[in-house]
Structure 1
């Protein structure tokens, strides 16, 4: 049985913009809160190539007042289902870590795919650069270079 991975809107958008959305299916069974689906439908992100389930999540707006509804719903679902969280939001990542939830982002998905031989070294490096250059995800140059070094040294993965 594969692990349950809950994602908020960010990684879905960023991986789609980098044309590697399909890599999400490698990390586990993808589930998104209904709130995230609503956010995606408001935008123009095409997730038709991705297989995922959608769950209704009940939560109090005061649960994580510093996060948006999609991130809050994803965190609540992770806590309820003992799932891994995918998010590119720094506040959501910190909150997940504080709650003891395993958390990764779009860069982590690329590193995971490389470490499981789903991407060549050159493709992984190209996609990491594309995440910085061709998407609306803010990544610092040192972070991208560190991820590329992990690929080059075969230390990538979860």
Structure 2
């Protein structure tokens, strides 16, 4: 098998450097910028890609030269067996940069398993360190949960 070079470009002719893959639209928070107060919430998932389908798609993108992969979404840590998916991605030839974006809730629960599965970087969105402001923005009192997840991530990832 010959290695292909990255020839993917956007509508402006810019080289596409990495792939962001949304693995779920679920989120435990109810941030005002994503979910207005009177929103019905997130619908039950229909036709999500299976792990095998995701691996197949990522293998094709890897062959086209895209190497960095970032798992993103509503909150990828709410996808069942996310560390299992991360491990499958690590096994794809050519994928050498594997990251995950999260709001940090659930991170303490998953940090070690993500590291063991091959996640090399995290992008944690943290809009404030002020507990009252955090609760107002996310409609959850989860700042300490996020901070605990960050601490464990520093150990593992």
Give the TM-score band, short-chain normalised.
Answer: 0.3 to 0.5
Relative to the length of structure 1, the TM-score reads: 0.37
Pair member with larger Rg: 2
